[in-house]
RNA sequence: GCCCACAUAGCUCAGUGGUAGAGCACGUUCUUGGUAAGAACGAGGUCAUCGGUUCAAGUCCGAUUGUGGGCUCCA
């Protein structure tokens, strides 16, 4: 990816200049922001009176093409600071950038066809080198990403050195749209949204199967890794949120209700509830690490502009757990978390997991010694497990350092799934204690951890990852029985009940339709296994199996079929046979 | 919350001021079939909501709600 970025950097940046130049020709009063290269393209931010919409892009493209055809050369000029200030005197955003450039550094501008822009470069030699480009969308963007600063208009585009590569890229975008979980969710009857509950999915029976299978899987791991699952309240007195700090720091994202003149907050996180649970009795060091898991439903108010499909919703559940332990037990806990995460991401075939270690921020609680210890522990655990990670100083939570696991989706967007966060603050706020070996009271550390994160979001990412073709264990309908004619229906029912006995989810397509049509239906629903039942099969007591891949198995015995798919399901395999 | 776009049948969409359409899905009937769509017929709409302009609004204007693309936030 990086190599490709480098390869196209000059090209795309030059395309951005050409676009800016075109916008300038159309709207001479435009004030220019910045126009950087991004993954797969570029953008440029403008302030202009005209409100741009996507229909304006064609006109801009036309002028860009003219400039490209004119074979204009890109010239680099080094100018003095005062020349620069003079040259961009009408461009407030450029002036701001100039002010920020190191006094000892050269100021360079690039010029093509009379359009000059403050720019470090590099650029291609000639506008003609931009062989293929396309403007993709317009969007609003704050100057410097700051909500308090002016709203600018941003145009996104992309450029390649051949039309063919551009077309490939545009096709990829189309492909990605097809595997969008919102589209597939509707096509496969997994979930839907209704304006009556904005940003809140309704999971249909099929989607609920996937959701619950994910929970079943995590529960198995909890057994394996010795967690204890709990169920905690949904609504808590505001007193709790004041004590936890959420009332001060997270209030805007919370829902509140009034009852008997008392204010209650609906939980956006489980941690305070688990702190209360921890405190419900006096704990001994013998009980630690105390691992508490909770699939409790959480509600977070997200502003209407930020919600998105399943990946950003208001109500959701997490595979959430908190580990209360001593600081010396942290190593072991992290090790076993890394093992658990790895085991899990392998199951879903997530190979490109990116791992970030976020270190102490400026605003933080706890003493330096604590942070030193915690950070070095996290770092060492990652290294000992041969994990590639990048450290991000200053990015940690105020209550402790954390390790985040990111996975890219079909559109190349990265989603944070797993997270491991050390917390020194909450044990303090809730005055959590345990009795140590010497009979003294000590303060435990709290580890917040989630592996799949929000199950809603995870499901969305999974749908895109597999393009809707879920592994058999997650498929809502695992086997579709297709009787060829009505007279085969009895045998179909017989087979279905056989499969039901071993917990294989089976449907029979008994519609008055031709076999071809039923197969097509099964394919479109991405059912992994289809069983065709006709005279031949019934006579020789076999089944003929068609896989979702289009592959046909030889006629096999029912027993062989059941053993085969049961094995794949139990192993949570991705391959079908 | 901010900028832009969109909202028509269950779904995907066409409909550029003058009587609301298609394909798929759905229902009924015929057909009983061999590895990705058998045929005929039928039902289905307060064009998101509210207000305005006009002789006349799905169509133009405004507001509201929702959705999408971004920005921002993500203790």
A569 has a pLDDT exceeding 70: yes
Q: Where in chain A is the domain with CATH 3.40.50.800?
A: 472-570
Which CATH number applies to A472-570: 3.30.70.3280, 3.40.50.800, 3.40.50.300, 3.40.50.720?
Answer: 3.40.50.800
The pLDDT, as a whole number, for residue A54 is: 80
Tally Cβ neighbours within 10 Å of residue A343.
13
Selecting among A94, A179, A181, A322, the annotated active-site residue is A322
Spanning CA of A520 to C1' of B35, the rounded length in angstroms is 9
Say what the pLDDT of residue A396 is: 86
For chain B, which bases have at least one atom within 7 A of a protein Cβ?
1-5, 11-12, 29-38, 65-73, 75
Catalytic-residue membership of A448: yes
The segment(s) of chain A belonging to CATH 3.30.930.10 are 184-232+267-465
A400: left (phi over 0), alpha (psi -120 to 50) or beta: left
A402 in catalytic set: yes
> What mean pLDDT value characterizes chain A?
90
pLDDT 10s digits, A127-140: 888 889 999 888 89
Beta strand A414-423 pairing with A445-454: antiparallel
Quick one: what percent of chain A has pLDDT higher than 70? 98
Q: How far is the CA of A336 from the C1' of B37 (A)?
A: 51
**What pLDDT sits at residue A412?**
59
Q: Which residue has the tokens 């720091």?
A: A249
CATH 3.30.930.10 fits A184-232+267-465, yes or no: yes
User: Does the pLDDT value for residue A5 go beyond 60?
Assistant: no
A16-CA/B68-C1' distance, Å: 25
Q: What stretch(es) of chain A map to CATH 3.30.980.10?
A: 2-169
What is chain A's Cα-based Rg?
29
pLDDT in tens, A367-393: 888 889 889 989 999 999 988 898 988
Whether residue A251 lies in the annotated active site: no
pLDDT value for A3: 44
The pLDDT value given to residue A6:
66
**What pLDDT is recorded for position A411?**
57
**pLDDT, average across residues A541-558:** 93
Least confident of A75-79, A152-156, A482-486, A495-499: A75-79
Percent above pLDDT 90 for chain A: 60
Instruction: Give A2-169's CATH code, choosing from 3.30.980.10, 3.30.2310.20, 1.20.140.10, 3.20.20.70.
Output: 3.30.980.10
Kind of pairing, strands A414-423 and A354-358? Answer: unpaired
Q: Tell me, in Å, how far CA of A197 is from C1' of B51? A: 26
pLDDT at residue number A2: 41
Any catalytic annotation for residue A239?
no
Alpha-helical (H) ranges within A415-468 are 425-429, 455-465
pLDDT reported for residue A413: 63
Q: Which listed residue (A154, A206, A314, A448) is catalytic?
A: A448
**pLDDT digit string, tens, across residues A426-467:** 999 999 999 999 999 999 999 999 999 999 999 999 999 899
Distance from CA(A183) to C1'(B32), angstroms, rounded: 35
pLDDT > 80? residue A26: yes
Active-site annotation holder among A318, A360, A377, A488: A318
Annotated catalytic residue A300: yes
**C1'-nearest nucleotide to the CA of A305:** B1
């Amino acid at each position: 990816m990086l190599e490709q970025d480098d390869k196209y950097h000059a090209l795309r940046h030059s395309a951005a200049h050409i676009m800016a130049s075109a916008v300038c020709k159309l709207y001479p009063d435009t004030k220019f922001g910045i126009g950087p290269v991004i993954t797969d393209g570029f953008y440029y931010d403008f302030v202009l009176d005209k409100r741009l919409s996507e229909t304006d892009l064609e006109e801009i493209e036309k002028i860009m093409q003219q400039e490209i055809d004119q074979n204009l050369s890109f010239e680099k000029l080094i100018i003095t600071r005062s020349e620069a200030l003079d040259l961009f005197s009408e461009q407030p955003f450029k002036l701001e950038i100039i002010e920020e450039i190191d006094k000892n550094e050269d100021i360079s501008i690039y010029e093509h066809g009379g359009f000059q822009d403050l720019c470090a470069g590099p650029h291609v030699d000639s506008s003609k080198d931009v062989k293929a480009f396309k403007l993709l969308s317009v969007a609003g963007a704050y100057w410097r990403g700051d909500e308090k600063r002016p709203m600018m208009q941003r145009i996104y585009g992309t450029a390649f050195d051949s039309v063919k590569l551009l077309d490939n890229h545009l096709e990829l975008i189309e492909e990605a749209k097809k595997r969008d979980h919102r589209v597939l969710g509707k096509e496969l009857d997994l979930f839907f949204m209704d304006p009556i509950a904005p940003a809140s999915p309704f999971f249909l029976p099929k989607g609920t199967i996937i959701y619950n299978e994910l929970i079943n899987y995590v529960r198995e791991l909890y057994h394996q890794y010795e967690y204890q699952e709990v169920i905690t309240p949904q609504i808590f007195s505001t007193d709790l949120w004041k004590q936890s700090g959420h009332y001060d720091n997270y209030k805007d994202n919370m829902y509140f209700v009034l009852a008997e003149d008392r204010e209650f907050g609906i939980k956006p996180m489980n941690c305070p509830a688990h702190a209360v649970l921890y405190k419900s009795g006096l704990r001994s060091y013998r009980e630690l690490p105390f691992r508490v898991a909770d699939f409790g439903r959480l509600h977070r108010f997200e502003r209407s502009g930020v919600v998105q499909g399943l990946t950003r919703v208001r109500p959701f559940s997490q595979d959430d757990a908190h580990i209360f332990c001593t600081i010396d037990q942290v190593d072991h806990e992290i090790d076993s978390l890394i093992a658990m995460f790895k085991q899990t991401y392998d199951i879903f075939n997530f190979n490109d997991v990116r791992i970030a270690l976020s270190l102490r921020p400026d605003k933080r609680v706890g003493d330096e010694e604590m942070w030193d210890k915690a950070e070095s522990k996290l770092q060492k655990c990652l290294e000992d497990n041969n994990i590639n990670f990048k450290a991000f100083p200053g990015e940690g939570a105020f209550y402790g350092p954390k390790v985040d696991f990111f996975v890219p989706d079909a559109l190349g967007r990265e989603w944070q799934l797993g997270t491991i966060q050390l917390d020194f603050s909450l044990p303090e706020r809730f005055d959590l204690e345990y009795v140590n070996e010497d009979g003294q009271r000590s303060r435990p550390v709290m580890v917040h951890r989630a592996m799949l994160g929000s199950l809603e979001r995870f499901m969305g990412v999974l749908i895109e990852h597999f393009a809707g073709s879920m592994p058999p264990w997650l498929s809502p309908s695992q086997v579709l029985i297709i009787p060829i004619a009505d007279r085969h229906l009895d045998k179909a029912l017989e087979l279905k009940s056989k499969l039901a006995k071993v917990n294989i989810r089976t449907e029979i397509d008994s519609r008055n339709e031709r076999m071809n049509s039923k197969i097509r239906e099964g394919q479109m629903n991405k059912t992994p296994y289809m069983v065709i039942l006709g005279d031949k099969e019934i006579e020789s007591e076999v089944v003929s199996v068609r896989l979702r891949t289009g592959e046909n198995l030889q006629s096999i015995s029912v027993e062989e079929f059941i053993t085969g798919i049961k094995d794949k399901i139990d192993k949570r395999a991705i391959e079908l046979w």
